[in-house]
Structure 1
Amino acid sequence: MAQEPFLVRFARDYGWRAYAIPVLAVITVWVLMDVFSTGNASPEAAPETPNLSTPTPDPTPLAGPDPADADPLSIPPTELPPGGPFTGQGQGTFRHIGDPLPRVGEGRTFTYIVEVENGINTAAYGGDDGFVSIVDATLSNPKGWIADPQFAFQHVAPDEDPDLRIQLTSLETTHALCGNDIAMETSCFYSDGNRVLINESRWVRGAIPFDGDLGSYRQYLINHEVGHGLGYAAHDFCAADGELAPIMMQQTLSVNNSELFRINPGEVYPDDGATCVFNPWPYPRGL
């Protein structure tokens, strides 16, 4: 009997597997060939992009302005410096601001209240609270009048008949009460009602002798005019070049004796050319 061919016998013994195995073998070979051919292929070069992190040379550093090269201010020291707006004419009536505070200092207590003339908008410099907080802080500062053991202050309610009424006033109200003997913006102490009048134009703009230090100038305004209210009616002069100006010197106008002498020869200022440094405190170095 003739022997069956191998392929016939294989197909009979393994059935459908006899066809599947060769097909799987072919597929396996094809997959392996594809993997190896892909791995050996050179990847397509990515397009070159600019190097954004390339450092650039630093520019030449800029030096700040040299004050020695600056021209002197062309504004006369008695003029208002440039700055924000202020109220020309208020309503002549006042609103009370702030709250009572404990007594500060050791001596005779000067009670005070703080008021703002109606028609003045204080929003540009901290509102009513901003104004009263500077007044309170200035009068309670240990470099202020309370450094002298004969003085104390207490912020009280308006119905307690205060010794001093510290008032922020408009330009025309200040002129009407303080007078206009010199054609310059000033503040004053108005004895009728013991009113410490703070000229809003100066509160906003400051004064040339203070070199733009508006905070110190505001402290000076309060201390100087309150000083008049405490009984220091006379003004004071610069003792020597380079010294701190005394608080009762008219620092709003100048810190130079000769300049103040030319403004008002009838005042206490000698025509000696002495120039002091602006100073907002009665006792900047203590007693």
Structure 2
Amino acid sequence: MTRPSGSSRPSGTEHGEARPPRGADAPDDRRPEDQRPARSRRRRGEPLAASWSPERAPAAPAPRSRRGALVAIGVVLLALTGFVVVRALAPSAETTDVRSPAAAAEQGPVVGEAPLGGDYAGVSIPTAELPAGGDFPVSGAGTWRVVPGTTPQVGVGRVYTYTVEIEDGATLAEGDGAFATAVDATLDDPRSWAGTGQIALRRVDATSGVVPDFRISLTSQLTTRAQCGYQIRYEASCWKSDIGRVLINGSRWVRGAAAFEGQLGLYRQYAINHEVGHVFRNQHVPCPAAGELAPVMMQQSFGVSNDYLAQLTDSNPQGIQIPRDGKVCRPNAWPNPTGR
């Protein structure tokens, strides 16, 4: 099943590289001229070598090896002097992230995005497992209360009436009215059963004086298991013809199904349309062609891969033998997806 909704990778630090300020000249020695060391009394710009005096004979040139050593020592001293000056003039404050963008990218983000949707063709992928998520109604009283409200008729053909109900003791965070609104909006949609041009639907309540043709009932996890059976050890909803009740499993209503990759609203529409489809005597079907929208009567709560569904239902038939043909569909909530 929700991708929670885009982040971008940092392209680098926000600020450019800090440049050292222009340094000031070294402070002057304020001592009197006659109290300064001899080397300090030299004039600015004179070489670092001993002072030149015309009265002295010129010194003999140093041997070549000695001259090279002196040059090397001078280069080292100049390099060290430059390093000290730069360090002295550089600002003491540093940016928060002192790594280069390339180094940060190599180490990776502190936290990354979750992987995108998976390939459900492999039979080992447990898409029938209930996804993680919020709290759902675990148990209830086994009786249901009718949510007040009615709708005008939608569609043409034989009219089917329904009520919306909530199991006593089962509580939804969004309240009873939100469940009823979701049911009505799904069944009133032209992509739903009434949009096929073969039947019509109308919601009634306890004040209507009408015995409904079926009841759409939000039901706790354990009551659903007791009513629908639990041979396949995964959460499911069902149509109970003997009591005229579509049982929508509260755990699935809150958590959805893995094949829907977090699209909880789409899954809820599927759950309503799939179970109401059983009211109209539709049976389970497999994925007809790889990559196509799944038929709404495919058991998408368990997955959209024929191979995976076959693995689950071989020992617990669900009305049809699912072929192991490698076909994988895309999740779909509607019996009439085009709305025509």
**SS at 2:216's partner residue?**
strand
Describe the SS at the equivalent of 1:165: strand
Q: CA deviation at 1:132?
A: 0.3
- Per the alignment, residue 181 of structure 2 pairs with 133
User: Which of 305, 310, 323 is equivalent to 1:261?
Assistant: 310
The structure 2 residue matched to 1:164, chosen from 214, 230, 249, is 214
Larger RCO, structures 1/2 (Cα 8 Å, 6+ apart): 2
Task: Give, in whole Å, the separation in 2 of the partners of 1:129 and 1:282.
Answer: 25
Select the residue among 137, 146, 154 that pairs with 1:96. 146
153 and 180 in structure 1: CA distance in 2 versus 1, 3 angstrom threshold: same
**Which of 210, 227, 243 is the matching residue for 2:292?**
243
Q: Is the 8 A contact 2:130 2:256 kept in 1?
A: yes
- Are residues 250 and 153 of structure 1, via their aligned partners in 2, closer, same or farther at CA, if it must alter by over 3 Å? same
Structure with greater Cα Rg: 1
| Structure with a larger share of its residues in helix | 1
Deviations 1:68-114 (A, max 9, x none): 78988997211100011112210111111131111011111110000
The residue matched to 1:282 in structure 2 has which SS?
Answer: coil
In 1, Cα distance between equivalents of 2:216 and 2:204 = 12
What residue ranges of structure 1 are gaps of 5+ in the alignment? Answer: 1-54
- Return structure 1 stretches of 4+ with deviation > 2 angstroms: 55-60, 62-75, 265-268
Q: Percent identity?
A: 47
Match of 1:151 among 195, 199, 219: 199
The DSSP-based 3-state class of the residue aligned with 1:102 is coil
Q: 1:119 aligns with which of 140, 160, 169?
A: 169
Given that 2:117 and 2:261 are in contact with CA atoms closer than 8 Å, whether structure 1 keeps it comes out as no
State the match for 2:190 in structure 1. 142
Are residues 66 and 231 of structure 1, via their aligned partners in 2, closer, same or farther at CA, if it must alter by over 3 Å? same
Length-normalised TM-score, structure 2:
0.63
Counterpart Cα distance in 1 of 2:239 and 2:267: 17
- Larger mean CA deviation between 153-162 and 244-253 belongs to 153-162
SS in 1 for 2:164: strand
CA distance in 2, matches of 1:279, 1:231: 19
User: CA 1:118/1:67 → structure 2, altered by over 3 Å: closer, same or farther?
Assistant: closer
Instruction: Check conservation: 1:139, 1:223, Cα contact below 8 A.
Output: yes
Distance, in Å, in 1 between the alignment partners of 2:133 and 2:125 is 13
Shift of 1:176: 1.2
